[in-house]
Amino acid sequence: MQLKNRISLILNNIPVNMITNDPTVDCTSGDILRGANNKNIKGAGLPHFIIYLGPRPNSEHEFLGAMLTTSDKQPENIPMKPEHFKEKDKDGNPYSVTYKNSKVVAKLYVKKMDWRPFELKGQLTEEGLTFVTKLTDGMNPEYYHGNL
């Protein structure tokens, strides 16, 4: 959705989920996104929600993020807490992604812009963002093996 159309909907008090083609422009660290065209290879499961962490230096086609999961299968899946997630946006609308036995994969991932459009599905609290950035700080970014 173009920014002009979003502003029109907001001014007319029509609820709208933020949709963006460029998270590096429209998002802030801690936003939880779903990429409409994020696809995984067969056997890798469904695409995960993305915690937006920031732009990838020297790349217009990628950004940095973390991966949300509910799986207990991997030791790098670190449990999060309910207080790491905002329940509602600033206007009181409930987010669709909140704490649900959530874990974050303790890796810094490269995310692709060609998964656009991205829809805002939730947001971490300041405490949640601090938790995730402490886990990923100093890591070299990598691609998730299951992404196409």
The one-digit pLDDT tens for each residue of the chain (148 residues) are 444 444 433 443 433 468 999 999 999 999 999 999 887 777 767 789 999 999 999 999 999 999 999 999 999 999 999 999 999 999 999 999 999 999 999 999 999 999 999 999 999 999 999 999 999 999 999 998 887 6
Which CATH number is 3-136 given? 2.30.30.110
Q: How far apart, in whole angstroms, are the C-alpha atoms of residue 114 and residue 86?
A: 27
Domain limits, the chain:
3-136
Q: How far apart, in whole angstroms, are the C-alpha atoms of residue 12 and residue 6?
A: 10
Q: How far apart, in whole angstroms, are the C-alpha atoms of residue 42 and residue 18?
A: 29
Looking at the chain, list the stretches that DSSP marks H as alpha helix, in order from N- to C-terminal side: 3-11, 23-26, 126-136
